[in-house]
Amino acid sequence: MRKLDALLELFQEAEPAERLQLLLDFAERLPPLPPEYVPLRDAGLGMVHECQSPVFFLPEVQDGRVRIYADVPREAPTPRAFTAMLVEAFDGEPPEVVLEAPEDLLYRLGIAPLLGMQRLRGLTAIYQKLRREVAEKAGLSANPR
């Protein structure tokens, strides 16, 4: 079972009222940004501008595997949690796993209806950035289906 499948199952089995808390529990799981990426973040590179909070999100493809480098302030628990979830689901996976993942991930997780329009827009932008940059860096199509 892929890591994303396990996350989807976890969220789909949870009661709708529990899903937002389940998401927020991921906020503490975001790994620290490696020091070599701090200058990029500080220069404003890799930022997700659709988010109200400063979200640094830099997916790369290294040796045929997706690597995700991210930094989101603790004061922004929702985008921080979603970013941590993406790291958990896709970091270390082949690019095809990202590109084969459902485009409507927030809806499949059952959390889209729990979010306001602005948050939904920001989280969708993070996910689209992941898919777009992985496709570009791996030389694949972002819509393989």
Residues 6+ positions from 91 with CB-CB distance below 8 Å: 66, 67, 68
For the chain, list the domains and their CATH numbers: 3-138 (3.90.1010.10)
Across residues 55-74, what is the average pLDDT?
97
pLDDT tier at 78, thresholds 50, 70, 90: very high
Q: Is pLDDT at 120 greater than 70 in this prediction?
A: yes
Q: What residue has token string 């689209």? A: 128
Question: Cβ distance 21 to 10 under 8 Å?
Answer: no
Closest CA to 61 of 134, 9, 142, 143: 134
Q: Is pLDDT at 145 greater than 50 in this prediction?
A: no
Q: Is pLDDT at 29 greater than 80 in this prediction?
A: yes
Q: Is pLDDT at 134 greater than 50 in this prediction?
A: yes
Q: Is pLDDT at 95 greater than 80 in this prediction?
A: yes
Instruction: Tell me the whole-structure pTM to 2 decimals.
Output: 0.93
Q: Is pLDDT at 62 greater than 60 in this prediction?
A: yes
